[in-house]
Each structure stands twice: as C-alpha cells, then as structure tokens.
C-alpha cells in the first residue's frame, strides 16, 4: 500500500477558516465603530438643539421687548422671521430652524393664556444622552426624561439676562 501524499486540500480549509475569522473580527469592529459614531452624532444633535432652542428663546424675548404699545408674543413662528408690526419689518430670527432631533420644521409650541407663543420644544420623545452639565440658562433640563421636556421659553431668557445685568443697567 502506497502512502498518500497531501495534495494541498487541508491547507485550503485552514485558509478558509482564517478568512471567516477575519470577517468576524472586522464585523465586530465595524459594529463597535457604528455605535460610537451614533453616540457622537446624537451628542452633536443635542448641542444643536440647545443652540437652536436658545435662538428661539432669544427671538421670542426680542419680539416681546420690541413690541410697539402693548408688549406681546408672536402668534406664529413666522412672525419672528418677519415682524411686520413696524413700517420697516424687523427680524428677530434669521430663519426658521428645523428641529435637529426630528429633522422637521414643526416644533411643539408653548402658548400663553392669550394663545400667543411663549416657547418651543422638540417633538422628539427620545431619551437624551445629556443628563447633567447644562449651562445655567438651561439647568432645569438636568435629569429630564425626553427631548420634548426641554422647553425653550422666553421667560427663561428674560431671567438669564436679568441675572447678568449690572446695577444701573436699563432693562
């Protein structure tokens, strides 16, 4: 009986197994990278939501303070972009910013007893990653359960500007 000679088929099995292991390791690495990227993207959206919300709160405050006669808030968000209560229309907001969390132009609106807009909030019901470490103006957001709980109101902007005012400054 003649001894059989290896013909290389055994090596092909090891190469195939090595290739499968490499693909598995690459897949795990890509999954981990995707999770990190997702967290970074969400944190960027949170930062953008805080910035956009502050822009709306400041614009609402500006609209209220510049009211001719009786001070009032706007009836719609479009009034912040073009305030036609004056002979020369004023802009309290450069443009209507979309909600960074939902990518929609629709915002939740907080209204006063007269039906006018006093604040905005995101319509997203996702749980925020950021739970602490907010600026003093938005310190009330700490520990809130949803982005829709982050309410950007003009009164908060008023309180913040009043607390930074020096004695003798006019309101």
From CA 38, how far away is CA 76, in angstroms rounded?
34
From CA 166, how far away is CA 21, in angstroms rounded?
67
From CA 12, how far away is CA 136, in angstroms rounded?
65
- Percent of the chain topping pLDDT 70: 84
Question: Residue 97 has which token pair?
Answer: 């910013």
- Tens of pLDDT, residues 153-168: 988 644 444 444 344 4
Residue located via tokens 């309410």 = 151
Residue located via tokens 């305030």 = 83
Question: Between β-strands 117-121 and 151-153, what pairing exists: parallel, antiparallel or unpaired?
Answer: antiparallel
- Tens of pLDDT, residues 28-83: 888 878 787 888 888 999 999 999 999 999 999 999 999 888 889 999 999 999 99
Question: Residue 147 has which token pair?
Answer: 């982005």
From CA 43, how far away is CA 84, in angstroms rounded?
37
Question: Residue 6 has which token pair?
Answer: 């290896």
The more confidently predicted of residues 110 and 160 is 110
Question: Residue 82 has which token pair?
Answer: 């073009």
Q: What is the DSSP string of 129-170?
A: S--S---GGGGGGTT-SSGGG-EEEHHHHHHHHHHTPPTT--
Question: Between β-strands 108-111 and 117-121, what pairing exists: parallel, antiparallel or unpaired?
Answer: antiparallel
């Amino acid at each position: 009986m003649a001894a059989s000679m290896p013909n290389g088929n055994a090596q092909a099995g090891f190469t195939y197994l090595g290739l499968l292991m490499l693909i598995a390791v690459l897949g795990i690495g890509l999954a981990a990278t995707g999770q990190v990227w997702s967290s970074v993207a969400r944190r960027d959206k949170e930062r953008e939501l805080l910035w956009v919300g502050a822009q709306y709160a400041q614009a609402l405050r500006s609209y209220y303070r510049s009211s001719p006669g009786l001070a009032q808030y706007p009836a719609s968000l479009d009034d912040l972009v073009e305030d036609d209560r004056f002979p020369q229309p004023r802009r309290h907001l450069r443009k209507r910013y979309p909600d960074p969390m939902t990518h929609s132009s629709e915002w939740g609106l907080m209204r006063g007893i007269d039906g006018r807009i006093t604040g905005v909030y995101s319509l997203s019901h996702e749980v925020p990653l950021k739970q602490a470490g907010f600026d003093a103006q938005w310190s009330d957001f700490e520990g809130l359960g949803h982005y829709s709980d982050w309410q950007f109101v003009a009164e908060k902007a008023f309180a913040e500007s009043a607390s930074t005012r020096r004695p003798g400054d006019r309101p």
